[in-house]
Amino acid sequence: MSGHDFTAVLDKIAEGAAAREAGRVLPYAEVELLREAGFTRLRVPVEYGGLGATLPELTEQLIALGRADSNLPQLLRGHVGFVESRLFHRDERWLRRVAEGAVFGNAQSELGNASFFRGATTLVDGRLNGTKFYSTGSLFADFIHTTAAVGADRSADVFVPTAAEGVRRLDDWNGFGQRLTGSGTTVFEDVRIAPEDVEVFDNNSLPRTYLAAVFQLVHLATLAGIGRAAVEDVAAYVRQRERNLHNPATAPKDDPLVQETVGRVAGAAFAAAATTLAAASAVEKVARLGDAATPADFDEADAAVYSAQGPVITLVLGLVTELFEVGGSSAVTTPYGLDRHWRNARTLASHNPLIYRYRSVGDHVLNGAGLAFTAAKEHP
């Protein structure tokens, strides 16, 4: 993807991000801008019509997109994962569809189910029925990647055109952050599915992949993007302030304590992005191995991303909290919108809780336990 520059598109997206967040305006137009610019085909190989980006290159672009509007990399998370799954198996049919502009959403989770493999959604005689929650990105997608039971011990990945009769996408996500990601409910009512859009698998013998690491990597990139946006916004806030209650003779931007705070916030944002990119490089190694990858290779990729999760979350949640130290009560007023950084970061950090990640990495370090998470077990 040498020479491909998304700066103008991302700057345009950033201009309206705070207003969209305040008014809860879903970013349909912004998704179209990204599609038209080629962002959604970044990882597709050049020979299939894509830009041929590496995972570190994609991650850097996702961080930049997160800086512009943190809702957008998350709503594209299912799309990123789908493309990566097609790359792993070199599925030319779908890779070319993505290169032509197709965007994928994700609809996997169901309310009330303790296990991914005990879902109530079914595919019987080519008809899909069920209800999915956390359907991130599906409102903006051309296809939905979902999963359905096809028997007692078998399930299927199902690729559903969003325009198909019987598909209902609801904008009912009620979280206090990441409110524009389309992470609501999807209902499938007797949807006819073409045989070529179904991939059946055995619940008890799932192949190893690095997709769980990729899904989490998107979250880390989004968090790192929030860190960058928070630094820019707090710097702009300080520069326009004239009142300094605690040091009246000094403008806030020249106050050493304010400068120190902004410096710490900027350092944390830099470290979060650098850590995320280092994790992306580790995943790139196993992605390049393809079918030659061993269980140890997959563990190495998973361990890199899961080890990065703690520091990135801690750094970003810390900086989006500390930034309020640079101002008094005016810093929490609605026009500045600084609260959106904390709300969005806290929402993202709640996916795949750290306590479980720390434990699994610790078990791996101490006992050599495998990090056998599959994309199917990963919370989408």
- Residue where a domain terminates, one of 66, 81, 103: 103
pLDDT at 378 over 80: no
Residue 380 lies inside a defined structural domain of this protein? no
| pLDDT at 206 (0 to 100) | 81
Helix, coil or strand: residue 380: coil
Burial of 112 by CB count in 10 Å (0-12 exposed, 13-18 middle, 19+ buried)?
Answer: exposed
Residue 360 lies inside a defined structural domain of this protein? yes
CATH code, domain carrying 118: 2.40.110.10
| pLDDT at 374 (0 to 100) | 41
Residues 197, 198, 199: CA angle, nearest 5 degrees: 125
Using 50, 70 and 90 to split pLDDT, how confident is the model at 375?
very low
Alpha carbon of 6 to those of 1, 36, 229, 323: distances in Å?
Answer: 11, 11, 17, 28
Tell whether 348 and 257 lie within a shared domain: yes
Tell whether 218 and 334 lie within a shared domain: yes
Residues contacting residue 312 through CB under 8 Å, at least 6 positions apart: 220, 223, 224, 272, 275, 276
pLDDT at 207 over 90: no
Alpha-carbon torsion (334, 339, 344, 350), positive or negative: negative
pLDDT tens track for 16-31: 999 999 999 999 999 9
Tell whether 274 and 350 lie within a shared domain: yes
Tell whether 331 and 250 lie within a shared domain: yes
Better pLDDT: 250 or 133:
133
pLDDT tens track for 230-270: 999 999 999 998 877 667 768 889 999 999 999 999 999 99
What is the domain extent for residue 263? 211-367
Please give the average per-residue pLDDT across 60-88, as a whole number: 97
- The whole-angstrom separation of Cα 293 and Cα 286 is 6
Question: How many domains are contained in the chain?
Answer: 3
Beta bridge partners of 154: 202
Token readout for 285 is 């190694």
CA atoms within 13 A on the CB side of 78: 30
- The whole-angstrom separation of Cα 59 and Cα 244 is 39
| pLDDT at 8 (0 to 100) | 97
| pLDDT at 259 (0 to 100) | 95
Better pLDDT: 207 or 374:
207
pLDDT tens track for 38-59: 999 999 999 999 999 999 999 9
Residue 2 lies inside a defined structural domain of this protein? no
Using 50, 70 and 90 to split pLDDT, how confident is the model at 123?
very high
pLDDT at 372 over 70: no
Residue 90 lies inside a defined structural domain of this protein? yes
Tell whether 215 and 355 lie within a shared domain: yes
| pLDDT at 114 (0 to 100) | 63
Query: Which ranges of 131-177 would DSSP assign to H, the alpha helix?
Result: none
Q: What is the DSSP string of 250-281?
A: S-GGG-HHHHHHHHHHHHHHHHHHHHHHHHHH
Token readout for 182 is 């389309």
Tell whether 42 and 110 lie within a shared domain: no
Using 50, 70 and 90 to split pLDDT, how confident is the model at 329?
confident
Beta bridge partners of 105: 144
- The whole-angstrom separation of Cα 164 and Cα 345 is 34
Residue 86 lies inside a defined structural domain of this protein? yes
CATH code, domain carrying 50: 1.10.540.10
Token readout for 252 is 């806030």
**pLDDT, averaged across the chain:** 92
Query: Which ranges of the chain would DSSP assign to H, the alpha helix?
Result: 7-15, 17-23, 28-37, 55-68, 71-75, 77-88, 92-99, 211-240, 256-289, 295-322, 339-349, 354-367
Alpha carbon of 192 to those of 71, 80, 128, 168: distances in Å?
Answer: 31, 25, 6, 14
Residues contacting residue 378 through CB under 8 Å, at least 6 positions apart: 211, 212, 215, 216, 352
pLDDT at 151 over 70: yes
pTM score, whole prediction: 0.95
Residue 1 lies inside a defined structural domain of this protein? no
- Residue where a domain terminates, one of 185, 202, 219: 202
CATH code, domain carrying 278: 1.20.140.10
pLDDT tens track for 89-119: 889 999 999 999 999 999 999 987 766 666 7
